[in-house]
Amino acid sequence: SAIWGAGGGDVSATNKTCPDDVIQYSSDQLQGLPVTFSPASSEDDVIRVSTDLNIKFSIKKACDHSSVWKIQKSSNSEVQWFVTTGGEEGNPGVDTLTNWFKIEKAG
């Protein structure tokens, strides 16, 4: 959620037809796009705390690039890194480090 403690947690994309960059709305009233979490191991069907996972927009439209999230270095001097799409699902390794995320327990 954009509002601490308000619940929710919508995310959206700068282009809803074919997502490019991942953004967080400043209001919980706006609807974002659904996402899918996929564990690193294709044999595991549970997402566990502190384990690698991919995140992707759950869109059915064919795009010219992947809807899998990845971290990308910015050319903007005020923002060092940002979340975008175009990552590779699965295939853990050195070449795909920017595609992996973790859910960590707070506190």
> For residue 2, what pLDDT is reported?
46
Q: What is the tens place of the pLDDT at every residue in 78-106?
A: 778 889 889 999 888 899 999 999 999 88
Give the chain's domains with CATH numbers. 11-40+47-99 (2.80.10.50)
Q: Token pair of 42, please?
A: 């294709």
Distance in angstroms (rounded) separating the CA atoms of residues 102 and 66: 20
Distance in angstroms (rounded) separating the CA atoms of residues 92 and 46: 17
* Torsions phi, psi for 49 (to 5 deg): -60, 140
Mean pLDDT by 10 residues, the chain (107 residues): 47 58 74 85 85 86 80 83 89 90 89
Please name the residue that has the structure tokens 């994309």: 13
> For residue 92, what pLDDT is reported?
86
- Taking only Cα atoms into account, the Rg of the chain, rounded to an integer number of angstroms, comes to 14
Distance in angstroms (rounded) separating the CA atoms of residues 33 and 67: 11
Q: Is the pTM of this model over 0.85?
A: no
Q: Token pair of 105, please?
A: 């327990």
> For residue 7, what pLDDT is reported?
43
